[in-house]
Structure 1
Amino acid sequence: MQAANIVQEARNSLSGLPSSQVLHALTYLKEGAPKNEDGSDPHATLRAQVLKELQNTLSLKDRPLLRFLMEQEITCRKNDIETESDNIHLSGFLLFLLGQLEDVELLWKAKRASFDTWCGFDIQFLVGAGVSTTLIYLHSIEQEWAKKARTYIEECQQTGDLDDLERYRRAMQRYFEIEPSAEEANTTEHPETQ
């Protein structure tokens, strides 16, 4: 199945996800399953194609599919399985663009999935709704993960890592070759740049 068809099927579904057969073709293959010659997950390439399809037509309706793809990438990283190197980063950035507070926990799991993601998964991905808004949200959650995420975000805020989210967004759009939408092209400010 082509990536464009997968995205369209998900968009036409009430759940926001394609059929279970298609989801299986996107799912990380656990231990014992056939791998590519290099030991990588053979489904990672299709996930990368779907992410590429999503990147220039992203809408809030794509969130369930995007979250599913992120969950697969997190599982790969936790199991030290090679995958398309930018899948987890592109998933994170697209979730950043959607700016939904409910995705902060999933993004925190991605940040903590492995040593590599701890070092290389940008903290900015967690604050797509804005730094202050995200911190208020995390303060309202009385769970250990939220406390740790909040503390880390506050530390990054103090060092200046979160000072210019608009500049960060533009840089990542260039990196992933994402065309700004007409709406974004006419906007000079992100809702929150602190």
Structure 2
Amino acid sequence: MSRSTNINGTGVVDHGFRHASAFRCGDRAGRHKAGQASTPRELPNGSLDYRAGVPNSVNLSDPAARREALRMVDVDDPRPHHAMLREIFDLERTWREGPDNGESDEFEQIYLTAFLLFLIGDPADSYRLYGAKFRTGDMDLGIGFDAQAIFGAGRRETLRWLSENGHTDECAHLSDWLSQTEDPEIEDWARQVRDYFYSPDGVLLLDEL
């Protein structure tokens, strides 16, 4: 990719997308570049199926267990836990859309997981993140989920991946969002979210459940 990916002085990944040029959705729809991830399969409950290897020893059965799994992830390099973060994200979305309101700040976990996926910067995650923001049946989730999290791969690369994988409606919607609604800008948002969830030395600030 032409974008840069590095850790800047604030501990936030710099995806090099401030100067991304406009991308016309649908220009190259249906074409798959070598090495790109395929579009995830949508399951009946609305979650997305990226069956990837997550160690059986990691307990993801409930919000408390998932929080401790998230505590294992290094915010400065979450890539080794990519598969687990995808699974946690889907489980957290299912939990948020269910009847359990939790007893503490469990609702924060989907936002934290989205931020970690943002830092990884895989454009194949954009469709999954888009669904949580714009296709959820839970009003609180739709309002609280920041669309900035969708653009971990960069503005242009995210739109390109969606267009080339047949998601032209999502591409067009996000293109409009970028031109009309992006506030705060993605780079500023990433710094704010890191400071909200992590100490300066990378310790997760959420308490045990």
Higher deviation after alignment, 79-88 or 118-127: 79-88
Question: Which of 149, 155, 164 is the matching residue for 2:176?
Answer: 155
Shift in Å, 1:180 = 7.0
**1 or 2 for the larger relative contact order (CA 8 Å, sep ≥6)?**
2
How many percent identity over aligned positions?
A: 27
Q: In 2 relative to 1, CA 168–45 (structure 1 residues): closer, same or farther, beyond 3 Å?
A: same
Matches of residues 1-194 of structure 1 in structure 2 within 5 Å? 16-19=53-56, 22=57, 25-27=59-61, 43-56=62-75, 58-83=77-102, 84-111=106-133, 112-113=135-136, 114-142=138-166, 146-161=167-182, 164-179=185-200
The unaligned stretches of length 5 or more in structure 1 are 1-14, 28-42, 182-194
SS in 1 for 2:73: helix
SS in 2 for 1:54: coil
Retained in 2: the 8 A contact 1:66–1:91? yes
TM-score by length of 2: 0.62
Amino acid in the other structure paired with 2:198: E
Amino acid in the other structure paired with 1:69: I
Whole-Å Cα distance in 2 between the matches of residues 69 and 63 of structure 1?
10
Root-mean-square deviation (Å): 2.2
Amino acid in the other structure paired with 2:172: T
Describe the superposition over 1:90-145 as per-residue Cα deviations: whole angstroms up to 9, x where unpaired.
01000000000111121122222222221111111110110111111111122xxx
